[in-house]
Every structure is written in structure tokens, then in C-alpha cells.
Structure 1
Amino acid sequence: MTSSRTPSGSRFSEPPFPEPLFADRLERIEDRSDALREAACSARPEARVPGCPDWSVHDLVAHVSQVQRFWAATVAAGPAARPPAEQAVRGAEPSADLLDWSARSTAVLLDALRAAGEEAGCWTWWADSGHPATAGAVARHQVLEAAMHAWDAQEAAGAEQPLPPHMALDAVDEFLHVGFGSMDGWPHAPERVALVSHEGPAWTLILDATGASAVRGGPGDGPEPGATLHGSAGDLLLALHRRYPLDGPALRMTGDADLIRQLVVWPPLG
């Protein structure tokens, strides 16, 4: 997936990227949703979630499950100009057995994605940015959602685990292209920020008054970035979601560190 905008003079040629299959992404949704529930079992329901401080673990599980049911209804509705009406999202209220209801919510999402197929069109909040509005794109985004919130639940339980590398690579790529790519104009001077993963893939965000364009390739593949963030894909993803400090030992910043800090606080996070 590449940005719909090709910045003038970028001189980037995007290198190959390890794109997972649709079936792989469905397995990852299931795996990370299971990890979320496993961590929730180890934590007190009322325990606070450091990554989402307004939520308890109970709130976190309910949120992910409701999101999964929403996207199941969205995919099942097919191409649409608007998201589904509230009454179209069935079973959206948690039952007495939260974890059982959560497991059924994940199953509802996976069933809807399988029934639709990867190329089926549907409403998405990112469609105006030019990125695919398909069941496949929803599956990709739901891997990111489940992975981040599984980690949140693990942190609340005091048992954080590294994010699986291949999953984290795809999630970083999705967040840079879709999350940042859907933002309005960059509110600072035009710049470039590179992210380099220990696993190999690298990216550059080109920031200007029109927003952010992500390209695959880091320092040496185009104009020199103003700053570069180095780390494992999992730690890069956690840093972009403000779960891991930029000055933590697992990350290394080169160039203008303030530019990276501006970037990380720019997008709103749910």
C-alpha cells in the first residue's frame, strides 16, 4: 500500500515489502484478540490501562470488541457512503460474561471478512485519502487495533510481551500510510522523518502543508531526512502510539529529535 500522493522531487523508488496474505491477517486478528483476552484474565477488571489512562481493563476489552462488531457490520454492508447505523451493529452491548462476548465479537468480525473476501468494497474513514476502502484494508487495520490493545492489556497486567516482528512491520506500514496519510496539513515547516527498523524495512514520511506522504525507503533512498528514528518494528510502533518513550533504550534518534517529538504528538489517537 502506497500513498496516493507522489511528492514532487521525492526521487524515491519504493523497495519490495513483505505483504502478508489476507488469510495471514485474519489469523493475526484472532491471535492478538486472544492475547488481549489472555492478558485481561491476568489483570483486575478495574485495573487502569497506562496506554489509555481513562480506561480500565474492562473498558479496553469492551472497546476492542465493539470496534470489531462495528467493522463486521461495515464489511457486511458492502460499498457505502456512510458507516452503518447504530442499529445495524448487532450485539454491540457487552454481556455478563465479558470475555465470552469478546471472543464471539472477534468471531463475528472474522466471519464477515471471510464472507466478503479481500477485494470487497465497504465504507472506511480513510477512503478520502485515496487508500483502499475494502475488506482487505479493514482486516489490515484491525490487526493494528488488536495488536496495540493486546499490548495495552499486557501492560496493565504487568506482563508486556514484544510485538511479533512481521505483524509489527505491517502495522507500522499501515499506520504511516493510512493513519498519517489521512491527516490534514503538517502544522510546521516542511520536513522529512525516516524510520528504520532493525528487521530491514525503512520508511520516510514527507511532511508539508498538504499533510503526510509515506514512502518505503529510508536515509540514502532520497533527500536527506531531518531526523531518523531507529528501532525494532515493534518498538517503533509502540513509540508512534506513545506507548514507549522516544528516549528509551530500545530506540535511537539521529538528527533533529524535536522533529520526531512533534511527529509523534501530531495524530490524534483513540
Structure 2
Amino acid sequence: MKPSETPLLSGSGITKVFGFGNNKTIALQDIDFSFREGEIVSIVGESGSGKTTLAKILMGLLKETTGEVLYKGLPRQLRKHSQRKRYWKDIQAIFQDPFSSFNLFHKVVRLLDDCIELQGLKLNKEERLRRMKEACSFVNLKFEELMNKYPFELSGGQMQRLMIARIFMLHPKVLIADEPTSMIDACSRSTILDMLLKLRDENNMTIIFITHDVGLAYYISDTLYIMERGRIVERGPAESIILNPTHDYTRQLIEDVPKIHEEWNLA
């Protein structure tokens, strides 16, 4: 296999079991996936389908019970803090609740400065400030107005933008976006999606959307993975799956959005 053909992030036989004996719950069962550089993937399923558990395993926040995840064709090394830190330079996430993603006792300037620390860059104060201002400008925030505020002083929309500003600074190879627009209004949702897609285009970043919204997934994705009860029941090009679904569960999801083309202006 040529290097260019090696998946950026892949996994085989991923199973996650919580608990033991009669109390065990199989959250994921025998999951396979393969994500290419620059690809936009949506993992779609209803609440309880296992998609967020999979996202946490991709991030290295949960360890799979069995199976193996490969990054750039090699097994991940995540036992040591230094190894996880190196991995997280390349793999970042945006979660549904932005307030859970930040230390509420750190001001905005500290939250953004931590991005520079994670990269291990040795910059003077002026260069650090310049980078933070540039990141805020990318997401239409004024750094000077926010730098001394705490997260709880910001709106949900501002927090989502701040999360994207962090991604702008970190330039990760992979972004895992777990329901990133579910807590904001429709206008802000469109803006946030446009920002994420612009980042993908500028950095050739792989984006993995975790969502229950098959309409959104169709609108933004190259590839869909449909999850039901901890299993991948269908996968393939987004248009092919939406127009010609083969699994009953996929059909059910699509039927719940009867005007998918009109809703996303995709005539």
C-alpha cells in the first residue's frame, strides 16, 4: 500500500464493554472504520447507538475492550501522558456542551495560551498575543473584549466559536465534532459549520461529525457510517446511502426527515 493510500485513522474489531457479568453493557461491537486525510465523515445514529462512545475511543479518552485503532497505519501508543499529549496535538475534539470543554476558572487568554503550550512552541509574549488575536478574528470574535472573561461569562455561541479558535491555533490532523451545533440557533449553526468546512479546506483536516441528524450529515459529508445499538449497520458515500439505503434502520432515519432535500436546499 502506498503511503498516500494509508488511512489516516482506522480501526478493526473495536468492541467496548462496560461492567461485568450480568451487569455488563456492550456499547460497541466489532466496529471497523477507515478515515482518509481531508475526508468529512459523519457517524449517524440515535441516542444510545454508541456513537459518542466511539468518539471517545477515537480521542483516546476511553480504551477499547478489544480491537485496535491505528493512526497513520500504526498502533496508537497512549499509555504515557507524553504519548497522549503527542496524539492530542493531532487529534482534537469539539463537544456538544462547550462549557464542559474548558476550565471554568481560567480566563479566555489562558485557554488560548494553553494551545501554544500544547504545541510546545517557544514564542515571546507579542507573538503569542498575535496568534491568539488571529484565531479570534477567524471566528469573528474580538480578543480584546474577551481575553479577561471567564467561560461562564460567554454565550453558548461565543463558546462554540472559541472552541473553533482553539482548533485554528492547533491545526490538528483530525477533528472529532460531537453534536457541535445542537445547542445553538439555526443562524449560528450555519456559521459554525461554514467555519469548520473552511478549516478543512485550508488544512486538509479530516472531520468526523458525530450526529443524530441525517439531514445535516448528508449536507456536509463525503462518507456516512450509520450506527444502531453499538454496530455499524451501513456505510458508504453520503449520496449513495441517502438515495439508496439498504438497511431498515437507515430508512427509518431518513423517513424521520421527509424533506431532506428541501430542508438543506439540495434540489
TM-score scaled by length of structure 1: 0.29
Q: Which has the higher strand share?
A: 2
TM-score scaled by length of structure 2: 0.29
Which one has more relative contact order, counting CA pairs under 8 Å at least 6 apart?
2
